Structure 1
Amino acid sequence: MRVLSGYGRQTGATLVVGLIMLLLFTLMVSSTFVLSTTNLKAVGNMQSRDESIAAANMATNLVLSTPFTSSPSADQVEVDLNDDGVVDYIVDIAEPDCVQASLADATAPSSVTLPAMSNSTWNTVWEIRASVSDPLTGADTLVRSGVRVLLTKAEKDNVCP
């Protein structure tokens, strides 16, 4: 019987190389899966953060549309971002703080003097803090906004130190 000359040396080398290639392919697929899952979580967190900031800005705009300087107080605002009738976020608005008051210019930009422009008109700067807690992710977002409001001296003395 005739024996092939190189046949005895091929005792499982192809099997070992095939298993190594299969292991490398498995590692590559699993690392791709882990990276895609991580990226999906990062994008979801960024979307939740952006929605929280949008909810805080909507609540701040709602407070600014009211006469909040007459009697500043804390408030809680329910925000429905996607208009589906379900409250998406609850925003806690801290009591607005008057942080600065300065006398407004008494001279009108034109030659006409308006009744609202007098020596008793004050530029006041207010800080409004909105805190949003996301019930799904547990993330907290704090948004601070500043706004300038023109007040009379009596109004300024009532609410600004």
Structure 2
Amino acid sequence: MRTTHSSRQRGAALIVGLIMLVLITLTVAVAFNVSVSNLKSVGNMQARNEAVAAANRAIEEVAASLLPPNADGSPSMVAPVATASLVDINNDGKTDYRVQIAPPNCVRVTKVSGGGGGGTTSGPGGITGGGSTSGSGLTAVPDQYNAVWDISTTVTDEVTGASTAVRQGVRVLMSQAQFEAFCP
């Protein structure tokens, strides 16, 4: 009687052991799939952050060159135009991102006044805004305007073809002639 009973127990232990092995294998497979999807998510976030950094670099270049004064100190009357920038983010000698910059748009203009407030002028599309020069380091300058320009970019990854859009507002001090020419 003992022999029959113990042989049944050995068979049950084998089945329970096989079930446990299957469960452990499934757990390992699920953990592997979760880690792979997390790795893809982190890679996508890194690529997006690099694209935004490339766009910010191009925006800084455009903002620095937006309506610079002429060599004689007179205001520039050259309209901003669309440009493209090639960015090598990892310095390996190959272009990683292509940044297309739309022509900057003047969206809001305020006449500079020394009293901390001032007249408001509408920009394109009827966008208006109250302006203040207080705390901005600006002093009362006749016929000067505080303008906010919108710079829009589209960044394309040269390897994957994925694209990201980035917009930035930039404030520029303009003369009356520039105001009349660029911010109707």
Secondary structure at 2:168 match in 1: strand
Looking at structure 1, the residues matched to 38 and 2 of structure 2 have their Cα atoms a distance apart, in angstroms, of 58
Amino acid at match of 1:16: I
Gaps of 5+ in 2: 69-77, 117-132
Larger radius of gyration: 1
CA deviation map 1:26-56 (0-9, x unaligned): 0011011001101100100000010000000
Looking at structure 2, the residues matched to 5 and 99 of structure 1 have their Cα atoms a distance apart, in angstroms, of 91
Please say if residues 95 and 158 of structure 2, whose CA atoms lie closer than 8 Å, have aligned partners that are also in contact.
Answer: no
Q: What residue is the counterpart of 1:56 in the other structure?
A: 55
Q: What residue is the counterpart of 2:101 in the other structure?
A: 93
Q: What residue is the counterpart of 1:43 in the other structure?
A: 42
Please say if residues 146 and 171 of structure 2, whose CA atoms lie closer than 8 Å, have aligned partners that are also in contact.
Answer: yes
Of 155, 170, 180, which residue of structure 2 is paired with 1:132?
Answer: 155
What is the deviation of 1:118?
A: 3.1
Looking at structure 1, the residues matched to 7 and 106 of structure 2 have their Cα atoms a distance apart, in angstroms, of 92
Of 84, 90, 93, which residue of structure 1 is paired with 2:92?
Answer: 84
Of 119, 122, 125, which residue of structure 1 is paired with 2:142?
Answer: 119
Deviating above 4 A after TM superposition, structure 1's stretches of 4 or more consecutive aligned residues are 106-109
Please say if residues 92 and 130 of structure 1, whose CA atoms lie closer than 8 Å, have aligned partners that are also in contact.
Answer: yes
Looking at structure 1, the residues matched to 85 and 37 of structure 2 have their Cα atoms a distance apart, in angstroms, of 33
User: Which moves more between the two structures, 78-87 or 60-69?
Assistant: 60-69
Q: 1:58 to 1:14 in 2, by over 3 A?
A: same
Please say if residues 103 and 119 of structure 1, whose CA atoms lie closer than 8 Å, have aligned partners that are also in contact.
Answer: no
CA deviation map 1:69-118 (0-9, x unaligned): 73111111111112222211100000100001111114699xxxx9x943
Amino acid at match of 1:54: A
What is the deviation of 1:10?
A: 2.9
Looking at structure 1, the residues matched to 7 and 168 of structure 2 have their Cα atoms a distance apart, in angstroms, of 81
Q: What residue is the counterpart of 2:3 in the other structure?
A: 4
Question: How many residues in Structure 1 have an aligned counterpart in Structure 2?
Answer: 155
Secondary structure at 2:164 match in 1: strand
Secondary structure at 1:143 match in 2: strand
Amino acid at match of 2:168: S
Amino acid at match of 1:148: R
What is the deviation of 1:6?
A: 2.1
Q: What residue is the counterpart of 2:112 in the other structure?
A: 104
- TM-score normalized with structure 2 length: 0.76
1:22 aligns with 2:21: yes
- TM-score normalized with structure 1 length: 0.86
Query: What value does the CA root-mean-square deviation take over the aligned residues?
Result: 2.4
Looking at structure 2, the residues matched to 24 and 3 of structure 1 have their Cα atoms a distance apart, in angstroms, of 32
What is the deviation of 1:140?
A: 1.7
